[in-house]
Structure 1
Amino acid sequence: MYCCPVLNLAKQLISIPSVSPLDLGCQNIIASRLSKMGFNISFLKHQKTNNFWAYKGHGITLSFAGHTDVVSSGNNKLWNSCPFIPVIKNGYLFGRGVSDMKGAIAAMIIAAERFITYRPNYSGRLSFLITSDEESHAQDGTIRIIEYLKIICERINFCIIGEPTSDKVLGDVVKIGRRGSLNVDLFVYGLQGHVAYPQLTGNVIHNVLPFLNALIAYKWSQGNKNFLPTTIQISNIHSGLGNDNVIPGELYICLNFRFGTDISVQDIQNKMISLLSKYRIKYTLKWRLSGHPFLTHSKHLVHVVHQTIRDINHINPMFSTSGGTSDGRFIKDVSEDLIELGLLNNTIHAINECTKVYDLQLLSLMYEDIMKKILF
């Protein structure tokens, strides 16, 4: 019942505990299959990260991008089965990384094998961009492949990233861009002392509260037709020595901004510095930009993907820029026309991560249909 090439390859990849940034042989399996199809492959290992760029053909380029690394399985005792031993139960395939995103990679590769078998003389170029550093720091992965492509003056006309974008039904949500992400490490300073003598100290926690209230209440942007309004979230706060009788003199706050194209990084930085000055905060700042917002400009790619989902799964997808960052923030430098389409995201990074077996085959058919429509 469940004997199909996509399922078999997905199970093979899941069986490898490739916790980011390690690949541990996943890419060798993929590259071997691509090599048999006649792909030219460039391996681009950097530090502990395995990467490769593979292509076959010439001309207009359709690229499929993905990652073989997965997040940690956490406490394996909480899983119903071993996270790195794929198990099928009630029509679902369980295993760490099945949805994010080894299942999608399996669907891509099998789609390519079918496509090339039935259309060996296709027009254009089919390519793959694969990394093992998406789930961790993303410093040695896709960004390094893009550096290489820039050096050799490569461009990608259309790119499909296999991130798990679907919500309730396969293909119901497609990402046509992502918000930018700006992280802030804020260090605030006061004057340490004894809690019984507050008049001799400067309680850094007390001093920073009005500033934080203003920071959270501020309307950073209104958003636009493609992006939601800018949001700010405090992810970490740490202060004090652990003693109940010491007023802290230093405080650390980690914040994150998610923003669209209606506000710039400089605007965010200027306003935050202005608020710090208004509330007379003594501070130092460290900004860490994870990525600028991006949006596909290709009506053709969006039309093709919309038509494919309607033909294969008989639904009309919603095109969105919501959610976290992806490697699209790097790929956009060589391909403005990219979308993300993958499996359901309801169990990604969770205990008992799983996907419908049926969805694996359906996604592979979608990928194959996109190949047919663009590389005719």
Structure 2
Amino acid sequence: MKPTPGNQPTDPLPLAQALIRCPSVTPADAGALGVLEAALAPLGFACHRLRFGEIENLYARRGTEGPHFCYAGHTDVVPPGEQGWDGSPFSGEVRGDVLYGRGACDMKGGIAAFVAGLTDYLAVHGDRPGSISLLITGDEEGPARDGTVKVLEWMAERGEIPDMALVGEPTSRLALGDIVKVGRRGSMTAWITLFGTQGHSAYPQRADNPIHRLIRVLHRLTAQPIDGGSEFFEATTLQVTGFDVGNTANNVIPAEARAMLNIRFNDLHSSASLTEHLHAALRTEEARYEMRVECSGESFLTSPGPFVDALKRAVERSTGATPALDTGGGTSDARFIARYCPVAELGGVGATMHKVNECVPVEELRALAALYRTVLEEAFA
């Protein structure tokens, strides 16, 4: 990608369209990373295609000295579904000054905007000291095992860990730049099996009903909030997302009952402390049980400081408004990057991500490119 002649801003639209036209539904790459590599190589980026398992990833860096700014994102997308689209979900067509297609919002449009923004930044500030890199995975919408996690391990082995990282998820709520995400809640799931004694429902004294016991446990866990939130986080939530006994007979007390829970937790807790919280509730029943817990990511927070301040200044310069610092929503690959360096998230308005007729106004895409150029100017100031 080359700057537009006459010092006009580089248009991110053609690259966004080219990326959308690659049907890169997780775990398929479908040529998306090749399109991106072809845009970055002429700008002086050393590109590394990294395959882990069945996942293709791209790490590209320009420069060798610090400070090192990394932009992280993903070219994989969720399935478009079979009905409801007004056109092909991978057409990348513009209708009424709006770009349509799976990934237009989440987040091929954001990647294109960053490349356009850095193109214009380099045209003016290419001699500034520092390095710019992109960590682009094909495994964000999937299991997230062979993407950002593995690339970061590869980067660490080579001494490529950045000083700061920006994830380009569509974090804006109502207007471009109104939200900068400086953290995310942790997420964990627990699968519980509580055992009793099977018996005839007419003779409950001869059985031990695990359903009743498990219901009492779940009531203890949900009757009161776990906490009231913290300075930057909302309250921890525990939701019962499944309950099953596998019983087809109406007159049999089953031998076991199962529940599934999902907990989204703030920085007052860890997955280990919440696992003990679940054990304590289960132990009150003095019954045999089994529990399996998986944590997809601990909570993290990038405290206000030079990096966050630079992002705020960039938004203020570009939009005239001061962004709110937020930690809400689900999880993103920022949870992995936070283990290595300060990380925040800033992208377009996420109103249509994962929806039928996913789209982004072309002018918003161009405004995002200008914002990303300003982010680089502030980060390297």
Is TM (by shorter chain) over 0.5?
A: yes
| Preserved CA contact (<8 Å) 1:46 1:141 | yes
1:367 aligns with 2:369: no
Separation of aligned partners in 2, 1:77 and 1:281: 48
Question: Please, which of 82, 85, 109 is the counterpart of residue 79 of structure 1?
Answer: 85
Question: Please, which of 305, 309, 332 is the counterpart of residue 311 of structure 2?
Answer: 305
Separation of aligned partners in 2, 1:245 and 1:96: 50
1:64 aligns with 2:40: no
- After superposition, the C-alpha distances for 1:30-72 in whole angstroms (9 at most, x for unaligned) are 1121111111122211011111221111220111000011111
Q: Which runs of 5+ in 2 are unaligned?
A: 1-8
Compared CA separation, residues 279 and 128, structure 1 to 2 (3 A)? same
Question: Please, which of 264, 268, 272 is the counterpart of residue 262 of structure 1?
Answer: 268
Q: Which runs of 5+ in 1 are unaligned?
A: none
Separation of aligned partners in 2, 1:162 and 1:243: 52
| Preserved CA contact (<8 Å) 2:140 2:147 | yes
| Preserved CA contact (<8 Å) 1:240 1:246 | no
Deviates more, 1:355-364 or 1:262-271: 262-271
Query: Which residue of 1 is the match for residue 280 of structure 2?
Result: 274
How does the TM-score come out when normalised to structure 2? 0.92
Secondary structure (helix, strand or coil) at the match of 2:216 reads helix
Separation of aligned partners in 1, 2:256 and 2:157: 45
Question: Please, which of 156, 164, 170 is the counterpart of residue 158 of structure 1?
Answer: 164
Separation of aligned partners in 1, 2:346 and 2:157: 28
Deviates more, 1:134-143 or 1:232-241: 232-241
Separation of aligned partners in 2, 1:362 and 1:318: 19
Separation of aligned partners in 2, 1:217 and 1:355: 42
| Preserved CA contact (<8 Å) 2:10 2:117 | no
Separation of aligned partners in 1, 2:199 and 2:19: 56
| Preserved CA contact (<8 Å) 2:10 2:120 | no
Shift of 1:362: 0.7
Deviates more, 1:261-270 or 1:199-208: 199-208
1:353 aligns with 2:355: no
Separation of aligned partners in 2, 1:354 and 1:245: 54
Separation of aligned partners in 1, 2:271 and 2:83: 43
Query: Which residue of 2 is the match for residue 31 of structure 1?
Result: 37
Separation of aligned partners in 2, 1:284 and 1:291: 22
Shift of 1:360: 0.6
Question: Please, which of 343, 346, 369 is the counterpart of residue 348 of structure 2?
Answer: 343
Secondary structure (helix, strand or coil) at the match of 2:19 reads helix
| Preserved CA contact (<8 Å) 1:146 1:333 | no
Compared CA separation, residues 168 and 370, structure 1 to 2 (3 A)? same
Shift of 1:21: 2.0
Separation of aligned partners in 1, 2:107 and 2:287: 44
Query: Which residue of 1 is the match for residue 177 of structure 2?
Result: 171
Compared CA separation, residues 347 and 193, structure 1 to 2 (3 A)? farther
Query: Which residue of 1 is the match for residue 4 of structure 2?
Result: none
Secondary structure (helix, strand or coil) at the match of 1:257 reads strand
**Structure 2 counterpart of 1:141, which letter?**
G
Separation of aligned partners in 1, 2:32 and 2:168: 16
Shift of 1:200: 4.3
Compared CA separation, residues 239 and 73, structure 1 to 2 (3 A)? farther
| Preserved CA contact (<8 Å) 2:311 2:378 | no
**Structure 2 counterpart of 1:63, which letter?**
C
Say how many residue pairs are matched: 372
Deviates more, 1:110-119 or 1:361-370: 110-119
**Structure 2 counterpart of 1:22, which letter?**
A
Query: Which residue of 1 is the match for residue 222 of structure 2?
Result: 216
**Structure 1 counterpart of 2:70, which letter?**
S
**Structure 2 counterpart of 1:68, which letter?**
T
How does the TM-score come out when normalised to structure 1? 0.93
